[in-house]
Amino acid sequence: MISQLNPEQRTAVTSSGQYALVLAGAGSGKTKVLTTRMAWLIQTGQVSPYGLLAVTFTNKAAKEMLARLTGMLPIDARGMWIGTFHGLCNRLLRAHYRDAGLPQGFQILDSTDQLAAIKRLIKTANINDEKFPAKDVQRFINAAKEKGERPETMEVWDAHRQRLVDIYQLYQEQCQREGVVDFAELLLRAYELLSRNALVREHYQRRFKHILVDEFQDTNDLQYKWLCLLAGSGASLFAVGDDDQSIYAFRGANVGNMAASERDYAKGNIIRLEQNYRSYGNILNAANALIEHNSERLGKNLWTDRGEGEPLRIIEQATDQLESQWLVEEIKALINEGGSRSDIAVLYRSNAQSRTIEHALFSARIPYKVYGGLRFFERQEIKHVLAYLRLVSNLGDDTSFMRVVNFPTRGIGARTLENLTDASREIGCSLAYGVGAVPGKGGTNLAQFVQLVKDMGSVAETVSLPELVQHVIEVSGLKQHYEQEREGAERLENLNELVNAATVFSLEENYEGMPAGKAVEPPVQADPDIMFQEAMSPLAAFLSHASLEAGDNQAKSGEDAIQLMTIHAAKGLEFKAVFITGVEEGLFPHENSLAADGGLEEERRLMYVAITRAKERLYISLAQSRMLHGQTRYSIRSRFLDEIPEACIKWLTPKVAAYSQASSSWSSGKSYPRDPYGRPETGSIAPRAPRTTSSGVQVGGQQFRIGQGVRHGKFGDGTIINLSGQGNDAQAQIIFQNAGAKTLALGIARLEIIA
């Protein structure tokens, strides 16, 4: 059973200590170690299959453990306690529902059902849903439960929080009355059961003599407390994880649990699995050198006997569009070499980055799949904006009408919509034209919505397509709605990216400056095979483009396709070739992380995860300019690239003479000279795109210009890399030596000009 294990794996599997902490590096065979450990304990008679408990984070991982275990031993694993935290807690509560204060047939609410229950509570309790949106309440309740807090134990410091605590109490009473529990309640109720009932606790502490935990770095505080309670002082706790891959702090994961486990249990019994069976040496050397810059880690060093392999290829392009076009050409080359599309992954820090990449793949007719998420034009917030735009283009579009008539909420309920549907059917018209037949306040609200859309249509006659998209995002209330969501930042990024998409579309189709809503003759020469080409407004053309990209070139189930995903979604996966895109300061590491406690170290762990997904080839790309919020933003290369040894890298640079969007001819060479901003010096790469403000701006008697050194009272010394606006409205994008990228209003920033 253990003959095929390496020495470190064998040490972990056969560990005789009561407590062990296994630091399992990426690609080091941690699942193999966990399942072999379970099989070894059972086969050597140290524990029965039913005296062992193994917990992980996904049902997929739990099923894989069971499948491997039954493949090693002739046992019936169905009765074993192997599963996720939520699955095991559900099992515990089913067995002791009376002690847990639950009905025997209690039901579990998934996230969608929980939100619906909260909305129902808000309505029946006459709670102001504008001050207390259901999603915010849901997040508040789940966060409290994950900390082990009940309403009666929570600290209150203002009236708003008091109201949230009161709603939590009402929700708790509603769930108890209806006999339902949500996911967070499963864990909290199971923890309370064990902590308050000594008989139940002691029973399971006697039963489970060996507790094994997978992905230990992803545990939150309550999960760690539950494990400690279950283990007591007699069980053997075998924890496997990688603190260098802890990237879920935003979900409540506490990487400090690994250090706490070492301190409280393992007490020096740390086993490091450092031999990597996935990647070549250059990839691992890059990952090791990068992660060494994190101070809060237990420490390990990945190695392989597969050889050094190819160096990491890094390219810096002038724009994000050129970055995507280069990516497509490289993907074509890999496929032409005989590679499978599904062996190629394109990773990005933010979902909003996928739009440009998707467009390039779509244009090249390369099938792709967005793993663990939606394609850009299929995302909820994007479909909302498109629905408003479709109504502007065609007020009779009932599907779009129903999608956004009450989103964001504007007091139009289901009964009002039923009345509108009946009235429109009787009249024989579309919904928008039947609002006058609906009486009362509901009819008034409907009329106000229709007028809002008509006003958008009037604006469309005078402004460009990107300006119209921005206008709709703001006046529809979508921007304000997502600003109020605690996790709405990514949706806002996607809305901004839609403005970018409209800007790029206008440029590519020669619609720049044309009113979005006015029909124009086709700006490009008609296809000679088409006898007639109808005049179309920029808005109508853009909506057609969005529909085509949303519905065409989608990889069918099982089809060989390029894999697109965020780096968070890539954890646990591996690919022969990996592209990490947008590795620029302010984007990766993300500028929001620089102000968060431990944020930069988590961003570095995220980069570490991205690098270690690659088995054979790794490409890293960045752009000197990237379109954000409909405007060009200039960037410098990420600090992470400076933390990778030059010996692992091959810099790719375009041939200067062939530097155009049409060119796909590239040359490669060793690292080239860099300017003070970390970019290639002029001559080694094509000239940069023009900046938005080249002559500088005058604010309060000071003349600011790009490249100028400045000092800020809080952020310290930095360099201006972009300027926009004039006078008191002027803004500067500044890279600070210690604080990273910031955008400041020059009228209020109090900057001191320095040499």
Q: SS in 3 state form for 95-143?
A: HCCCCCCCCCCCEEECHHHHHHHHHHHHHHCCCCCCCCCHHHHHHHHHH
| DSSP three-state, residue 38 | helix
| DSSP three-state, residue 21 | strand
Handedness of CA 319, 323, 329, 333 (dihedral sign): positive
H-helix or E-strand spanning residue 329:
helix 320-336
Catalytic residue annotation: 30-31, 214-215, 245, 613
Give the separation between CA 350 and CA 332, rounded to whole angstroms.
Answer: 24
Look at residue 556 in the predicted model and tell me its pLDDT.
55
Amino acid at 22: V
Widest CA span in the chain: 84
Rg (Cα) of the chain, in Å, rounded?
29
**Residue pLDDT, tens place only, 94-142:** 889 889 998 877 777 777 778 888 988 888 888 888 888 888 899 899 9
| 55 bridge partner residues | 83, 213
The answer for residues whose C-beta is within 8 angstroms of residue 318's C-beta and 6 or more apart is 623, 624, 625, 659, 685, 686, 688, 689
Q: Residue 652 in contact with residue 293, Cβ under 8 Å?
A: no
Whole-prediction pTM: 0.71
Return the ∠ at Cα 141 (arms to 139 and 486), rounded to 5°.
20
Look at residue 682 in the predicted model and tell me its pLDDT.
34
The answer for residues whose C-beta is within 8 angstroms of residue 494's C-beta and 6 or more apart is 351, 352, 355, 376, 379, 381, 382
| DSSP three-state, residue 191 | helix
Beta strands 562-566 and 716-724: pairing type? unpaired
Q: Which residues of the chain have pLDDT under 50?
A: 523-533, 552-553, 654-694
Query: Which stretches does DSSP call E strand in 283-367?
Result: 312-319, 344-348
Give the separation between CA 100 and CA 196, rounded to whole angstroms.
Answer: 10
The answer for residues whose C-beta is within 8 angstroms of residue 556's C-beta and 6 or more apart is none
Distance of CA 652 to the CA centre of its chain: 28
Q: Which burial class, exposed, middle or buried, applies to 463 when counting CB atoms under 10 A from its CB (0-12, 13-18, 19+)?
A: middle
